Amino acid sequence: MTTTPTPYDDAKAQLKRAQEILGFSDDDYELLATPRREITVAVPVKRDDGTKTVLRGYRIQHNWSRGPGKGGVRYSERVDMEEVRALAMLMTWKAALLNLPYGGAKGGIAFNPAEYSKAEIERITRRYVHELFPVIGPDIDIPAPDMGTDAQTMAWFMDTYSQAVGYTQPGIVTGKPVSLGGSLGRAEATSLGVYFTTRAALGHLGIEENDATVAVQGFGKVGRGAARFMDKAGMKVVAISDVFGAIYNADGIDTDALGEHVDETGKVVDFAGAEAMDPEELLLLDVDAVVPAAIEAVITKDNAADVKARVVVEGANGPTTGSGDAILNERGVMVVPDILANSGGVLVSYYEWVQSRDNFFWDLERVQKSQEAAMLAVWDEVVEFSKEHSVNLREAAVSMAVERVLDAHKMRGLFP
């Protein structure tokens, strides 16, 4: 009986491929594959009706050779230890690829926030922070928003931690409201980075922005902003989906009008400026670029052979399984890996962390120009490594990141 590889299995397979490319030892592989710290906590919560329930929370600090842990907190009923392990490892490589002074971490609580009131979610958040208090901090592990969490969640997180230490500590999290020391440009940073890397990939293939067609899966935190940036730049966004359905317009979707429709109705379906389509067909459209910006494991061995786009830009974390990735590469489809494509969020989180520590805040132009310069410089490095070693972009990006982490570890040495 064969089992479906978990996200952590796929993450370790990427690391194993980096080992083959770089030639480091099995001992070093084990060191890099094994999280440095794994925490499981009980999160008891009193519901609004007076009943009590106990949720399960996680925080994994995968590596801190290059600096404190950094990574999001997600609220989803699908959260489990395997998923968090994979995402924490991904964060290690993402931070190293961008040359940020961070290691990788990730956390989450297994529940569906749609089934809880705002007051209940606040109590859950504050209890989670209380349970993690000994192992987080602005120089230890700095959380950020992720699926199911937002700036308000980070405000509660910051306040709870600050109450415990006895003074306001804005550096404990990133992705905070600007009024509490958050950075301008942080909310849209991941989306903007997806746009930057999509533009770079299309340009690499000789496709001009004004001639490009794009399909975006997901109209949430990442997909909505990415679609809007692409639309404003002249790309033709012909298809967009969310959890309720998908829409298509061969002439391009007006993303501003769609945003207003979603704000009013909560879903992309029934938008007057497009027709309904099968959501599963969106990834298979004959367009220049497909942007999976929703959940993981949507391009698999079952549909990768039918992807017609020349470029897949991974706006989500892990949207392509290992087997799906192999098929895309065999067919010559360029895949811009998640650790590069959606790295804008951690990059601007770093800018926010620096601003919080210095109490000196940047204007939006500085944030976005710095983000663009940094991400395009990394794009060039990844492309160059890919050519030099005759590997694909994912193998190049992961190998570059792994090499930096391993070098940092060896320079520090192994504590007796």
Active site residues: 106
Question: What percentage of the chain's residues is helix, strand, coil (to nearest 5)?
Answer: 50, 20, 35
Strands of the 141-145 sheet, one edge to the other: 37-46, 52-63, 103-109, 69-75, 141-145
Alpha-carbon torsion angle 378, 383, 385, 391, nearest 10: 130
Buried b / exposed e over 9-24, threshold 16 CB at 10 Å, is ebbbbbbebbbebeeb
Residue 41 β-bridge partners: 57
Provide the token pair at 273: 């400026």
Q: For strand 103-109 and strand 52-63, is the pairing parallel, antiparallel, or unpaired?
A: antiparallel
> How far from 402 is each of 68, 106, 393, CA to CA, in Å?
17, 18, 14
- Extract the runs of DSSP E, i.e. beta strands, from 17-91: 37-46, 52-63, 69-75
Provide the token pair at 149: 């969490």
How far is the C-alpha of 87 from the C-alpha of 108, rounded, in Å? 11
> How far from 297 is each of 215, 246, 304, CA to CA, in Å?
17, 18, 11
How far is the C-alpha of 407 from the C-alpha of 130, rounded, in Å? 35
How far is the C-alpha of 328 from the C-alpha of 300, rounded, in Å? 10
Q: For strand 37-46 and strand 52-63, is the pairing parallel, antiparallel, or unpaired?
A: antiparallel
Residue 242 β-bridge partners: 245
**Residues 398/15, Cβ–Cβ less than 8 Å:** yes
Give the up-direction half-sphere exposure of residue 82: CA atoms within 13 A in the CB hemisphere: 9
**Residues 43/124, Cβ–Cβ less than 8 Å:** yes
Residue of 155, 293, 316 whose CA lies nearest to 217: 293
